[in-house]
């Protein structure tokens, strides 16, 4: 049955539309060098391209995670560095406070600075990242990790959660450390303490140090009493008498004074001072026969200054004698470090602890850097794969385009010629 003129025109126009769309697509491929991979035309290629693009998207997300992780680690490192600087200043202040020439007002001034340092440290340990999350709160990133209780002590309000971030389909990386690990679990010779415990102990030691003297001078001889210990503890000091000075050193335990008496008497020719046991075997009596010169004791030291405990830091009490009998309250003789040495040791332990935490952060950052490099290499490979799958065969595309345009042009000419014919042309 003959096709009507209307139907013929519609089919022809539809064909021209298809050829125009195809020509436009081919021209786009020529200009961009890319082809549109469609499941209807290339099922396997389209599936591979889709999977590869999904992998690219995942890698991009992991790279973003790594960037955020490294920013958080950098902030953690700088924050811990700030805490280290604070502890370093505390070391300087503790050494300064141990100077025997300082008076009570000097130590008060040091204590005021320590209080300011404590406040500065509170701000450091409660640092938040750019997203407002606490760096050292563990999993409780929305809470303030460190708070001050009613009695002034610092309480950790976070948990021990270890924050991590996904950086591959099968790998996660640490992005920081919790506040309990960073600032609370510091091992010292006096037990496990927080940085704030260490600071508070230092301030207490400053108060105690002001109650002792580094030098004692008596008349009519001297009466010495020592703190009792159940373990041998060395005691040393410089003693000066009418003849001169000598350094005395002996180890005492359970109140047995014989070793110290023997050490003092061994230096009698140098100092002019003799020692005897006190009444009821309590302490030691010093005398300088045939002399009215005062007896002076200084540079007192108990044990190892870096490892002293409360048991071994009891000062020596020095009283004057009158007619061989001790009188007055006496002077509590101690080198300035006797009360401060444990604090100095604790502060240095805190400094070492913070250095260790920075080492951990550095290791985490190094892992993040290595993973960043791995992902960069994978991203480059995947990008090349996507480019290969999407790249058009320009020679084939141009050939098809030229052929299509030739066909379209010929069809247009035929359609135009047919459109000009009348009914009489068909019935001749």
Q: What's residue 306's pLDDT?
A: 44
Is position 427 within any domain? Answer: no
DSSP symbol at 413: H
pLDDT digit string, tens, across residues 126-140: 999 988 999 999 999
Q: What pTM value is reported for the model?
A: 0.60
Q: What's residue 249's pLDDT?
A: 92
Across the range 250-278, mean pLDDT stands at 91
pLDDT digit string, tens, across residues 298-355: 888 877 544 444 344 566 888 888 777 888 777 777 654 556 777 888 999 999 999 9
Q: Note whether 202 and 94 are same-domain residues.
A: yes
Domain that holds residue 314: 214-335
Confidence label for 427 from pLDDT (cuts 50, 70 and 90): very low
Is position 185 within any domain? Answer: yes
Q: What's residue 165's pLDDT?
A: 85
DSSP symbol at 291: -
Is position 33 within any domain? Answer: no
Q: What's residue 35's pLDDT?
A: 56
Identify the top-confidence range among 44-58, 225-239, 263-277, 406-420: 263-277
Q: Note whether 287 and 315 are same-domain residues.
A: yes
**Under DSSP, is residue 146 helix (H, G, I), strand (E, B) or coil?**
strand
| Cβ-contact 145, 79 below 8 angstroms | no
Is position 39 within any domain? Answer: no
CATH number at 366 reads 1.20.1330.10
- Tokens of residue 215, six digits: 């030098």
Is position 51 within any domain? Answer: no
Q: Note whether 113 and 192 are same-domain residues.
A: yes
Short-list 209, 237, 249, 218, CA closest to 299: 237
- Tokens of residue 62, six digits: 């992991």
Average pLDDT for the chain: 80
Q: Report d(CA 39, CA 36) in Å as an integer.
A: 10
Is position 88 within any domain? Answer: yes
Number of domains in the chain: 2
Q: Note whether 79 and 152 are same-domain residues.
A: yes
Question: For 103, phi and psi rounded to 5 degrees?
Answer: -100, 180
Is position 50 within any domain? Answer: no
Q: Report d(CA 360, CA 366) in Å as an integer.
A: 10
Q: Point out the domain boundary residue: 304, 320, 335.
A: 335
- Tokens of residue 314, six digits: 């009891």
Identify the top-confidence range among 220-229, 303-312, 363-372, 400-409: 363-372
């Amino acid at each position: 049955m003959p096709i009507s003129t209307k139907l013929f025109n519609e089919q022809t126009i539809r064909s021209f539309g298809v050829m125009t769309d195809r020509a436009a697509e081919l021209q786009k491929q020529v200009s961009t060098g890319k082809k549109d991979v469609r499941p209807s035309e290339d099922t396997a290629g389209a599936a591979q391209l889709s999977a590869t693009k999904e992998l690219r998207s995942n890698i991009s997300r992991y790279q973003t995670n790594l960037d955020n992780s490294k920013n958080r680690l950098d902030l953690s490192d700088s924050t811990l560095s700030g805490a280290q600087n604070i502890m370093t200043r505390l070391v300087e202040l503790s050494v300064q406070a141990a100077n025997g020439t300082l008076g009570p007002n000097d130590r008060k001034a040091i204590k005021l600075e320590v209080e300011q340092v404590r406040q500065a440290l509170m701000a450091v340990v409660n640092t938040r990242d750019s997203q407002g999350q606490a760096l050292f709160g563990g999993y409780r990133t929305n809470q303030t990790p460190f708070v001050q209780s009613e009695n002034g002590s610092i309480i950790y309000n976070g948990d021990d959660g270890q924050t991590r971030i996904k950086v591959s389909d099968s790998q996660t990386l640490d992005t920081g450390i919790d506040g309990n690990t960073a600032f609370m679990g510091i091992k010292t010779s006096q037990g496990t303490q927080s940085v704030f415990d260490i600071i508070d102990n230092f301030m207490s030691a400053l108060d105690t140090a002001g109650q002792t003297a580094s030098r004692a001078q008596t008349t009519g001889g001297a009466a010495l009493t020592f703190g009792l210990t159940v373990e041998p503890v060395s005691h040393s000091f410089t003693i000066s008498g009418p003849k001169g000075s000598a350094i005395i050193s002996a180890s005492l335990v359970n109140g047995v004074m014989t070793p110290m008496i023997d050490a003092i008497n061994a230096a009698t020719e140098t100092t002019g001072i003799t020692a005897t046991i006190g009444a009821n075997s309590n302490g030691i009596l010093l005398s300088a026969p045939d002399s009215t010169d005062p007896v002076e004791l200084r540079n007192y030291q108990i044990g190892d200054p870096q490892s002293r405990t409360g048991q071994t830091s009891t000062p020596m009490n020095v009283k004057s004698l009158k007619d061989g009998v001790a009188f007055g309250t006496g002077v509590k003789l101690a080198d300035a470090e006797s009360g401060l040495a444990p604090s100095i040791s604790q502060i240095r332990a805190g400094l070492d602890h913070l250095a260790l935490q920075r080492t951990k952060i550095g290791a985490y950052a190094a892992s993040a850097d290595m993973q960043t490099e791995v992902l960069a290499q994978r991203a480059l490979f995947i990008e090349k794969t996507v480019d290969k799958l999407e790249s058009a065969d320009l020679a084939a595309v141009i050939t098809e385009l030229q052929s299509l345009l030739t066909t379209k042009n010929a069809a247009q000419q035929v359609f135009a010629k047919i459109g000009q014919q009348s009914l009489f042309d068909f019935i001749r």
